[in-house]
Structure formats: structure tokens, C-alpha cells
Structure 1
Amino acid sequence: MNTHNKTYHPYASPFDPCKPITVKTYSTPPHLYMGFQPPNLPQFSPMEALRAGTLWKDFYDPYYNSYEKSKGGLPS
């Protein structure tokens, strides 16, 4: 199973004067996990598509940085 949020552990130098960040996260978009666009995908209405940034519901990915709470649904 693929997850859209990935983590990695960057190198932390023993000579770095700052406290190291041991784990970093990033988000990958849903279209990376589809080999091709299947026919007859469900679509947003035109106004919802403008807010979501995509016409197809399967390609919608609400991005939230690590300081925001994940909320479901479309952006307002």
C-alpha cells in the first residue's frame, strides 16, 4: 500500500552547532501512483474543480504542512 506522506532521516553532523532535525516529512501527489488515467473518473463540479485545482476527484490531494491539522473535504 502506498502512502502519500513519506519520511526520511537526514544526515546530522556531529559538528553542527544547531539541534539537528532527525525526521523530515514530505507529501507525494496521488497521480504518482496511477500508471495511466482510467476512463470515466468521477469529476468535481466546475466551481469545486477551480477550488480543488483538479477536475478529477481521484487526483485531489489536500496539502497540509506539519503545523496544520488535516481536515477532510475541499478548501473553502
Structure 2
Amino acid sequence: MFTTKKAYEPYVSPFDPCKPIRVKTYSTPPHLYIGFQQPNLPQFTPSEALRAGTLWKAFYDPYYSPYERAREGSST
């Protein structure tokens, strides 16, 4: 399955005084997976493009930090 979210398991030292983070995640931008810009790609309107940060819809990637995702489920 294709996803721009990646994860890896870092080394966890037995002598680390802090609670380890077992899985770390990161986001990769969509332009890494498009070899070249094809003609006639769908475009945002100029006002939408200013908010999205790109003119082409194929290159848009909304970033959500892991902390934002955690807050959505909490009741605070």
C-alpha cells in the first residue's frame, strides 16, 4: 500500500534513562514519487494554491504532526 507516512524502529539502549520511543514516524513529500511533471495536471484555483502552497493538486500534502493526531482523540 502506498503512503507518504513512513515509520522505523530506532535502536533502544538498555541504559537509556528515558522511556524509549519504540517507533518513530516521518512524512515524505509526494513529489518524490512522481518522476516528472506530466502535462495537464489538475490545478488549484489561485486562492486555493496560496493556501495549499502548491499550484498542482498532485503535489499537495497536508502535514499533520503526531501531536495533532493525538489531540484529536483526547477530550481536552
Q: When the two structures are superposed, what TM-score results if normalisation uses the length of structure 2?
A: 0.86
1:23 aligned partner: 23
User: CA offsets, 1:19-66, max 9 Å, x none?
Assistant: 110000001111111110110001001111000000000100000011
Distance, in Å, in 2 between the alignment partners of 1:43 and 1:16 is 49
Q: How does 1:1-76 map to 2 (within 5 A)?
A: 1-69=1-69
Listed as ranges, the gaps of 5+ residues in structure 2 are 70-76
Distance 1:49 1:64 in 2: 19
Q: CA RMSD in A?
A: 0.9
Distance in 1 between the 2:44 and 2:18 partners?
Answer: 46
- TM superposition shift of 1:67: 1.8
Aligned length in residues: 69
- Distance in 2 between the 1:67 and 1:27 partners? 14
For 1:40 and 1:49, the matched residues in 2 are separated by 16
For residue 2 of structure 1, report the CA deviation from its aligned partner.
Answer: 2.4
How far is the alpha carbon of 1:68 from its aligned partner? 1.7
Higher helix share: 2
